[in-house]
Every structure is written in structure tokens, then in C-alpha cells.
């Protein structure tokens, strides 16, 4: 899961991309990069580095990215440690000039990689985007019209399986973007004064002053050509399967996706979970409702209102530590949890605390928070999750690629409760999730094991 921004037709394209990436920093904190199409020199200019956006792209680097079109990316790795070669954007300049950014993962990446190598291709990265660039570039050598671009991207969709939202600069020909046929990953289109923007979340468009036109459809291609004309076509018509984890965890609360506000969805998830808590047997009588900051705040507030209980911020967050879920490596996550939270002891001592989180993935954070609250005098801790048990790996861009690292994999709720050492554990169920988000067109593969795309045997 990463953040992407594309700008076409703005005299300050790179600055717009930079500011958009700052709004999407929560989507990835490992590395960042910007590539600009400098039409005066007829070349792409690229700056990228490890670190958060403001660390990776200095003011000096930004000044070296002229042009009216640019792409940006903020990365979180789903394949272990980040390598400099894998930082996006990436570019190809043989026969056809292409630069790209993408959010997602290809579930048949190994197959595609082997196929390209068998054709004598030398690949420079382990990034799935490089595979997509090669697939698209092959066709564009013979096609330079929108109809030709449609054929090329259709063929790419037929070859590349998995969840992806891509934005590409096509030399002097403009900017185009497409989503996989199930539309797992989000991508929004905006417009301002003849310029166009594409971004992973609507909040980035709003901040930059672009009117949020719409979310790209599953299997759709859009192209802003060199004259500024927008072309669009839905290339594949299959069942839409948006990733539910966007609403639950990844997206900023101020964003909108598929006509649903993320904040509103999280409130509704909290209301549904409150009913489960009210009906739960064998848990202590709750004295106070507390969120695990920041994502679960709307749900915790809704639960407190529904149960007519006090809402308290008992965990204070260190803003200078990464979101521990998206850190690569279990040891890094353990260290981060200890640095990340401190407890307001007078609000928990002697009390039965209901701790609300958006999800429980590996259990590292959850277990440590229960321990922290009890060490500061909490009488008991009941844990509640707005997401059902995550029991299967994700192969489409979220960093839990194996089942064995998931605390709920192969365990009952009672067994998970025992692992967390909490005094009660309450999960939302699948119907709560669909009704809260307001859609039945969701990818629930990590909850059900029902994958929309085939998974390579070695994955």
C-alpha cells in the first residue's frame, strides 16, 4: 500500500506533487520520489531517496524538477527491507518514453518476471511497477492513438494479475492512468483551471485545490493527451472488489472513496460494534471507552455514544514514530510500539477499559497495549476490533504476505484473547463491515481466503 500523485498541465507540477505526497504520508514512510517531464530539455528529471517525503525530496531537489507534468510516490514496502533501486517513480526510455508510479502488488509477478527474462530482458528492480512499464511499453511502440492505448492497457490487464492503480507519463504525449479489473486499489481524478490531478485519496486533491471529479472505475483507463483533452474508457467489466482495509485503516479519515466518506464509514463501524459489545457475555462492566490512536477514534467515539459511557484518550501517541503496522520487520514493530505510546495513568487506574482498534493483524501492538494499560493500573482491558479476524495473507499490496504471522490464523477468538492477555475480545463480523462501508463490492480475501485473482504457488 503506497501513495501516488500525478499532475498534468500545472506550471508548478512538481510542487503540487510534493504537497500531495505530504498529505499521503500516512500511506508510506519508507521512501519517496518525484519525476518531472521537462519538455524544454526533452528529458525526465528524477529525484528519490529513502525516508519520509520531506527528507527524501529537499527544497534543492524540488527546484531541479521543472515542467508542467510530474508524478510522485510515497512508499511502504511489502517485500521486506526497502532497496534504493525499488524506490518509485521508475522510467523506461528505450523506443518509447514512459515514467510511472503505482500502488499495489501483482500476484503473478514471478511469472511475468520469468517471461520477460526469457525474452532477453534485463530487469533492474524487484518492483512490480517495472513489469507493468515493460508490458505497456511493448505495445506503445506501435500505437500512438487512444484506441491503440486502450488495446495496450487491455492486454496488460490480461497479463498482470493483482491489485494495482497506475499513473504513467507518456513522454510528450500526456499522462494516463488505469486500475486493475477488480479495482482493488483507489485512485481519484481531479481538475483545476485546465490542469488534471490523480491521487490515491481525495484529500490530496482537495488540499491542492483540485475539484474531486470522481474515483476511477475498476478496469478503467483515462488519458489526458498533449492538448489537455481527457479520454476515458472502461476496458474490463468484472466484479468490483475494493480493498476494505482502506476504509478500516489506510485512508485518511477526511478522504472519500466510492461516494462514502471514510470518517462516516468508521462511525458506522463503531455503531455496529457497539451492538456486539452490548450483547457480549462474560466481560467486565466497562468504565471508559478509549481508542488506539489515530485511526480508531471515530469508531471509539461512536461506541461511547451508543453505550453512554465516557470517552477518554488514555493513550498518547508519539508523532515522530512510524505507523507500526506498516514498518517492515517484526523486531522493528516491537521497538516502535514501546516508543509510540504513553499512558494517561489517572484515566485508567482502577478502571475497566474498553480499548477500541481498527484491526488486529499480528497482535504485536495489541498485546503491548494491554500490557501497558495494566502496568499503569487498569483493572481490566477488553479489546474491540472494527475489523473481523484477519486469517489469510494479502497478496495485493498490504504487508501481511504469509498466514503464519497473523495472530488469528488458525486460532479461535478465545485463543487470540489468551495470546493478547486481555479480559475480553470482541470482533466485528463480515455483515458489519459491508453495511458500515455501504458496499458489498469489497475484497475480503484476508478475512475469507476467497481471492479475486489467482495466487502463485510460491506466494
Residues acting as catalytic residues: 2
Backbone angles phi, psi at 8, to 5 degrees: -130, 130
* E strands in 150-255: 162-169, 174-179, 188-192, 195-199, 211-215, 220-225, 230-234, 242-243
- Helices and strands (H, E) in the chain, number of each type: 15, 23
Residues whose CB is less than 8 angstroms from the CB of residue 331 and which lie 6 or more positions away in sequence, other chains included: none
Q: Report d(CA 291, CA 294) in Å as an integer.
A: 8
Pairing, β 288-291 against β 352-357: parallel
- Return the SS3 of 437: helix
Q: How many CB atoms lie within 10 A of CB 148?
A: 13
Instruction: Answer for the pair 355, 373: CB distance below 8 angstroms, yes or no.
Output: yes
Q: Distance between alpha carbon 49 and the CA centroid of its chain, in Å?
A: 20
Residue identified by cell 511502504 is: 76
Cα–Cα distance, 437 to 247 (Å, whole number): 7
Radius of gyration in angstroms for the set of CA atoms belonging to the chain, rounded to a whole number: 22
Amino acid at each position: 500500500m503506497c501513495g501516488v500523485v500525478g499532475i498534468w498541465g500545472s506550471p508548478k507540477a512538481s510542487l503540487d506533487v510534493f504537497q500531495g505526497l505530504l498529505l499521503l504520508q500516512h500511506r508510506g514512510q519508507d521512501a519517496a520520489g518525484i519525476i518531472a517531464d521537462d519538455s524544454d530539455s526533452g528529458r525526465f528529471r528524477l529525484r528519490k531517496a529513502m525516508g519520509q517525503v520531506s527528507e527524501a525530496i529537499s527544497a534543492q531537489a524540488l527546484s531541479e524538477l521543472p515542467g508542467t507534468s510530474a508524478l510522485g510516490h510515497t512508499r511502504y514496502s511489502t517485500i521486506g527491507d526497502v532497496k534504493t533501486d525499488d524506490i518509485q517513480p521508475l522510467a523506461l526510455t528505450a523506443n518509447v518514453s514512459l515514467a510511472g508510479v503505482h500502488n499495489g502488488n501483482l500476484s503473478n509477478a514471478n511469472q511475468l518476471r520469468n517471461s520477460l527474462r526469457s525474452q532477453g530482458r534485463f530487469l533492474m528492480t524487484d518492483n512490480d511497477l517495472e513489469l507493468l512499464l515493460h508490458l505497456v511499453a511493448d505495445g506503445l511502440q506501435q500505437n500512438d492513438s487512444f484506441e491503440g492505448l486502450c488495446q495496450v492497457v487491455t492486454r496488460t490487464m490480461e497479463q498482470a494479475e493483482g491489485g494495482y492503480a497506475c499513473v504513467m507519463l507518456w513522454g510528450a504525449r500526456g499522462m494516463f492512468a488505469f486500475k486493475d479489473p477488480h479495482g482493488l486499489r483507489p485512485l481519484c481524478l481531479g481538475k483545476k483551471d485546465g490542469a488534471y490531478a490523480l491521487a490515491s485519496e481525495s484529500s490530496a486533491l482537495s488540499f491542492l485545490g483540485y475539484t474531486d471529479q470522481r474515483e476511477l472505475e475498476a478496469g478503467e483507463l483515462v488519458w489526458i493527451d498533449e492538448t489537455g483533452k481527457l479520454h476515458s474508457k472502461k476496458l474490463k467489466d468484472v466484479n468490483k472488489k475494493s480493498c476494505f482495509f482502506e476504509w478500516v485503516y489506510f485512508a485518511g479519515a477526511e478522504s472519500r472513496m466510492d461516494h462514502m466518506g471514510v470518517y462516516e464509514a468508521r462511525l458506522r463501524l463503531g455503531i455496529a460494534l457497539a451492538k456486539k459489545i452490548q450483547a457480549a457475555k462474560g466481560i467486565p462492566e466497562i468504565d471508559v471507552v478509549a481508542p488506539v490512536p489515530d485511526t480508531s477514534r471515530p469508531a471509539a467515539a461512536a461506541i461511547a455514544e451508543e453505550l453512554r459511557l465516557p470517552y477518554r484518550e488514555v493513550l498518547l501517541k508519539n508523532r515522530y514514530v512510524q505507523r507500526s503496522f506498516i514498518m517492515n520487520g517484526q523486531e522493528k514493530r516491537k521497538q516502535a510500539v514501546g516508543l509510540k505510546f504513553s499512558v494517561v495513568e489517572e484515566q485508567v487506574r482502577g478502571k475497566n477499559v474498553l480499548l477500541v482498534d481498527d484491526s488486529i493483524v499480528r497482535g504485536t501492538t495489541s498485546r503491548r497495549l494491554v500490557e501497558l494499560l495494566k502496568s499503569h493500573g487498569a483493572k481490566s482491558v477488553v479489546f474491540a476490533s472494527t475489523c473481523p479476524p484477519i486469517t489469510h495473507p494479502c497478496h495485493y499490496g498490504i504487508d501481511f504476505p504469509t498466514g503464519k504471522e497473523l495472530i488469528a490464523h488458525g486460532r479461535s477468538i478465545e485463543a487470540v484473547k489468551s495470546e493478547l492477555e486481555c479480559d475480553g475480545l470482541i470482533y466485528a463480523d463480515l455483515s458489519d463491515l459491508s453495511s458500515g462501508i455501504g458496499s458489498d463490492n469489497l475484497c475480503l480475501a484476508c478475512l475469507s481466503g476467497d481471492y479475486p485473482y489467482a495466487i502463485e504457488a510460491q506466494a
